[in-house]
């Protein structure tokens, strides 16, 4: 690598590092104030760079918000990917792999409430701003890693006899994960509203959902 190429690589690395700082500060402010109340100027001030620099990295606030969502999903998934490479996971049959994957959402509920808060903010913002599906392609791809792991586990279960072969893999994944995330968001962000809401613990509700999902696919 010649000096010109080395310098170019260093500049690109610096750019990516600055972008990551901007994204992290955007996430922090959004979790404090909400997306609608967060301005690009505030993000620039917190990141200690000029607002013009932010717009060099991200053409619009929407682009910055989407990149922040992608960053969060990729960070979240990377926390758990190692679990699916361990012998303790690979030796499981398909059914128990699905159960292990679903247990991730309980971990997220207990340890990553800011992530759930951001997702709630993000979904509402996407609807409000009427952001097109095409603009969300990269965001959708960032979520598909966990989906592919789930589909692989379901297919294994159908082959090893632990999972009903008639199960629609895609419908199961979408329905169950959406339900678990929605419940986690409700428990995190809205808590107990009615008197009887606190009659059943959070863990009981989440585990019951997982048990219902597992019983649904048992062969």
Q: Which domain holds residue 115?
A: 61-217
In whole angstroms, give the CA distance from residue 161 to residue 172. Answer: 17
Domain match, 73 and 34 both: no
Cα angle value 47/185/201 (rounded, 5°): 130
Residue 3 has pLDDT above 90, yes or no: no
Domain match, 149 and 194 both: yes
Split at pLDDT 50, 70, 90, the class of 88 is: very high
Highest mean pLDDT among 80-84, 105-109, 196-200: 105-109
Domain match, 99 and 181 both: yes
Higher pLDDT, 134 or 214: 214
**Which pLDDT does position 191 carry in this prediction?**
62
Number of domains in the chain: 2
The residues, any chain, with a CB within 8 Å of residue 149's CB and separated by 6 or more, are 84, 101
Select from 20, 39, 58 the last residue of a domain: 58
Split at pLDDT 50, 70, 90, the class of 151 is: very high
Domain match, 160 and 78 both: yes
In whole angstroms, give the CA distance from residue 64 to residue 19. Answer: 10
**Which pLDDT does position 141 carry in this prediction?**
86
- pTM, full prediction: 0.83
**Which pLDDT does position 78 carry in this prediction?**
87
Select from 29, 58, 87 the last residue of a domain: 58
**Which pLDDT does position 188 carry in this prediction?**
87
Domain match, 40 and 90 both: no
Tokens of 216: 């649904």
Domain match, 98 and 204 both: yes
**Which pLDDT does position 80 carry in this prediction?**
87
Split at pLDDT 50, 70, 90, the class of 199 is: confident
Q: Specify whether the CB–CB gap between 184 and 206 falls below 8 A.
A: yes
Higher pLDDT, 200 or 103: 103
Domain match, 92 and 54 both: no
**Which pLDDT does position 219 carry in this prediction?**
79
Domain match, 125 and 185 both: yes
Domain match, 88 and 150 both: yes
Select from 58, 81, 105 the last residue of a domain: 58
- CATH assignment of the domain containing 83: 1.10.357.10
Domain match, 54 and 69 both: no
Domain match, 191 and 100 both: yes
pLDDT tens, position by position, 91-122: 999 999 999 999 999 999 999 999 999 999 99
Domain match, 73 and 32 both: no
Q: Specify whether the CB–CB gap between 132 and 126 falls below 8 A.
A: no
- CATH assignment of the domain containing 50: 1.10.10.60
Q: Which of 32-36, 49-53, 77-81, 196-200 has the lowest mean pLDDT?
A: 196-200
């Amino acid at each position: 690598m010649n000096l010109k190429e080395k310098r170019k690589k260093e500049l690109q690395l610096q750019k990516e590092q600055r972008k990551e700082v901007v994204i992290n500060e955007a996430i922090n402010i959004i979790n404090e104030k909400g997306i609608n109340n967060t301005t690009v100027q505030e993000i620039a001030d917190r990141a200690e760079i000029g607002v013009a620099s932010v717009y060099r990295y991200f053409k619009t606030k929407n682009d910055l918000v989407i990149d922040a969502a992608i960053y969060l999903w990729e960070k979240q998934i990377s926390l758990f990917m190692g679990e699916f490479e361990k012998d303790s996971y690979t030796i499981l049959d398909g059914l128990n792999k699905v159960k292990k994957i679903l247990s991730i959402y309980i971990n997220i509920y207990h340890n990553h409430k800011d992530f759930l808060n951001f997702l709630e903010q993000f979904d509402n913002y996407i609807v409000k701003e009427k952001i097109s599906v095409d603009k969300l392609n990269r965001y959708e791809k960032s979520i598909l890693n966990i989906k592919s792991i789930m589909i692989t586990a379901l297919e294994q279960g159908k082959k090893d006899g632990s999972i009903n072969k008639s199960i629609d893999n895609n419908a199961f994944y979408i329905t169950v994960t959406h339900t678990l995330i929605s419940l986690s968001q409700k428990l995190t962000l809205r808590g107990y509203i009615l008197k009887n809401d606190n009659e059943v613990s959070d863990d009981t509700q989440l585990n019951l959902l997982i048990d219902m999902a597992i019983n649904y696919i048992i062969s």
